[in-house]
């Protein structure tokens, strides 16, 4: 049986970057390449219903081997990697028995992984770290989650003496661009509860997420020769800057933490004639979330009143909501995950996700779905790394959750 590291290294060798500009599902065909590999591995393990649909969703079932009436639980990870940096031609390297020193990722490019910049490295002295060569993502988000789930499946199939209820598995496309749950058929999937294995450091256990809105702005200016522009020119770039001044300075990502929300300008492109801006708006509190949206709308209305109707065109779209609203009524699923960690000596880190997962949307689709750690650090960047021992602990936690549902049913 391949161990979790072997699986992880195999999966990261496939480039699966998602593409926000694409309107297909999955957004990139390479995600299906990984999906096909996973289906074949599952079939080889003896999971007879493993399949991938036309949209790239991989699903599978491990039937119950106990007479106990245990809820059907699922474990979910995503196939794609973030578009922030390529995952093509990944060259992972293992730093065995990490000493606490500076790690040279790429000497030629001057890229280093240092405890001064990333102090969490010092938590992993003596561990074996998988790192990049500084030119790509590693892909631990979320191929570590996939590797951990697949390792658990192999263990359950090879060891029928491990008793469990019905276990569902799903690997979704395009999570990184907010579409992972778009075509997920919750009713057909048939799980009562689920866990995404998509968190960071060991111990992370998250059941609250942001409420999220995506904003696109088009500003229509009027370009005339600057020498005769008085009372004629409308500079779209200036209006874009003016719009930004409406937003509270201290509600930008670099000034916020914990439950604090933010406005984040992702991009701005343009000329005097036309400018385009993209923002994301986030808050855990639904009332504050709605207030932020109202503030943005009011800013656009003010500018249109000042410069003329339709000078500023606004498109706002809610992406997902705080999954805590759906998980609080069934909080025992958080307690089961918490106990699974404590039982193997892990101190649970229960905190809100400053982002979202597939579980954010699945929870509102009728599948309550907290998020547990996959073990990686520095996701979405060239300094990404993951300790092998953290992946092994994630495997044990998944097994602990499975057993926790069995024991919970017996104690009723």
* CATH assignment at residue 315: 3.30.70.360
Q: How many residues does the chain have?
A: 412
Same domain? 96 vs 219: no
pLDDT of residue 45: 97
160: which residues sit within 8 A by CB, 6+ positions away? 65
Does residue 39 share a domain with residue 164? yes
Domain of residue 246, residue span: 212-319
Find where tokens 């599902």 sit.
25
* Distance from C-alpha of 337 to C-alpha of 37, rounded to nearest angstrom: 29
In this structure, are 199 and 221 located in the same domain? Answer: no
95 in the same domain as 235: no
* 199/232 same-domain check: no
Judgement on whether residues 313 and 219 belong to the same structural domain of the protein: yes
| Nearest to 202, CA basis, from 359, 374, 350 | 374
Asked if residue 118 and residue 189 are part of one domain, the reply reads yes
The whole-number pLDDT of residue 93 equals 96
Q: Residue 41: how many CB atoms within 10 A of its CB?
A: 18
Residues 36 and 126 in one domain: yes
What integer pLDDT is reported at residue 1 of this predicted model?
A: 42
Does residue 171 share a domain with residue 259?
Answer: no
Question: What long-range pairs does 262-266 form, CB within 8 A, spacing at least 24?
Answer: 263/292, 263/296
**3-state secondary structure at position 121:** helix
CB 83 within 8 A of CB 202: no
Cα Rg of the chain (Å, integer): 23
Scanning the structure block, which residue is given the tokens 């979910």? Answer: 76
* pLDDT in single tens digits along all 412 residues of the chain: 469 999 999 999 999 999 989 999 999 999 999 999 999 999 999 999 999 999 999 999 999 999 989 999 999 999 999 999 999 999 999 999 999 999 999 999 999 999 999 999 999 999 999 999 999 999 999 999 999 999 999 999 999 999 999 999 999 999 999 899 999 999 999 999 999 999 999 999 999 999 999 999 999 999 999 999 999 999 999 999 999 999 999 999 999 999 999 999 999 999 999 999 999 999 999 999 999 999 999 999 999 999 999 999 999 999 899 999 999 999 999 999 999 999 999 999 999 988 888 899 999 999 999 999 999 999 999 999 999 999 999 999 999 999 999 998 766 6
Domain boundary among 283, 304, 319: 319
Q: Which two tokens stand for residue 28?
A: 């990139």
Structure tokens at 55: 């949209």
- The catalytic residue positions are 80, 175
- Do 225 and 287 lie in one domain? The reply is yes
Same domain, 25 and 170: yes
Question: Looking at 299, 319, 339, which one is the last position of a domain?
Answer: 319
- CATH number of the domain enclosing 353: 3.40.630.10
The gap from C-alpha 381 to its chain's centroid, in whole angstroms, comes to 14
Collapsed DSSP state (helix, strand, coil) of residue 96: coil
Convert 25-34 to b/e letters by CB count within 10 Å (16 or more is b): bbbbebbbeb
376 and 268 in a common domain: no
Name the domain count of the chain.
2
Nearest C-alpha neighbor of 238 from the set 301, 292, 294, 311: 311
Alpha carbons within 13 angstroms on the beta-carbon side of residue 196 total 32
Q: Which of 287, 319, 351 is the last residue of a domain?
A: 319
What number of other Cβ atoms are within 10 A of residue 276's Cβ? Answer: 15
């Amino acid at each position: 049986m391949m161990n979790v590291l072997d699986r992880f290294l195999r999966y990261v060798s496939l480039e699966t970057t998602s593409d926000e500009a694409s309107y297909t599902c999955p957004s990139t065909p390479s995600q299906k390449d990984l999906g096909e590999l996973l289906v074949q591995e599952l079939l080889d393990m003896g999971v007879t219903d493993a399949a991938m649909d036309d949209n790239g969703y991989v699903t599978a079932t491990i039937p119950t081997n106990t007479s106990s009436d245990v809820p059907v639980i699922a474990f979910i990870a995503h196939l794609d990697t973030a578009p922030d940096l390529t995952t093509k031609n990944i060259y992972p390297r293992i730093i065995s028995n990490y000493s606490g020193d500076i790690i040279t990722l790429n000497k030629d490019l001057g890229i280093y992984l240092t405890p001064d910049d990333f102090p969490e490295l010092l938590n992993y002295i003596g561990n074996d770290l998988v790192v990049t060569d500084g030119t790509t993502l590693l892909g631990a988000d979320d191929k570590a989650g996939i590797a951990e789930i697949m390792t658990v499946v192999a263990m359950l199939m090879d060891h029928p003496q491990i008793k469990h209820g019905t276990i569902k598995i799903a690997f979704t496309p395009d999570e990184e661009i907010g579409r992972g749950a778009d075509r997920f058929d919750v009713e057909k999937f048939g799980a009562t509860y689920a866990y995404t294995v998509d968190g960071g450091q060991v111990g992370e256990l998250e059941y609250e997420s942001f409420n999220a809105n995506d904003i696109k702005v088009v500003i229509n200016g009027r370009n005339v020769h600057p020498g005769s522009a008085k009372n004629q020119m409308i500079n779209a770039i200036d209006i874009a800057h003016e719009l930004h001044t409406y937003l509270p300075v201290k509600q930008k990502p670099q000034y916020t933490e914990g439950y604090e929300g933010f406005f984040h300008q992702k991009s701005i492109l343009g000329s005097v004639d036309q400018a385009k801006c993209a923002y994301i708006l986030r808050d855990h509190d639904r009332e504050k979330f709605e207030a932020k949206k109202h503030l943005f709308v009011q800013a656009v209305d003010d500018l249109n009143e000042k410069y003329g109707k339709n000078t500023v065109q606004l498109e706002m779209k809610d992406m997902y909501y705080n999954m805590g609203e759906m998980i609080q009524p069934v909080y025992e699923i958080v307690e089961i995950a918490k106990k699974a960690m404590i039982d193997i000596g892990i101190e649970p880190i229960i905190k809100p996700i400053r982002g979202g997962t597939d579980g954010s949307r699945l929870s509102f689709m009728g599948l309550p779905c907290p998020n547990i750690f996959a073990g990686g650090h520095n996701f979405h960047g060239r300094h990404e790394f993951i300790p092998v021992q953290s992946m092994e602990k994630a495997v044990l936690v998944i097994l602990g959750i499975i057993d926790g549902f069995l024991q919970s049913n017996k104690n009723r």
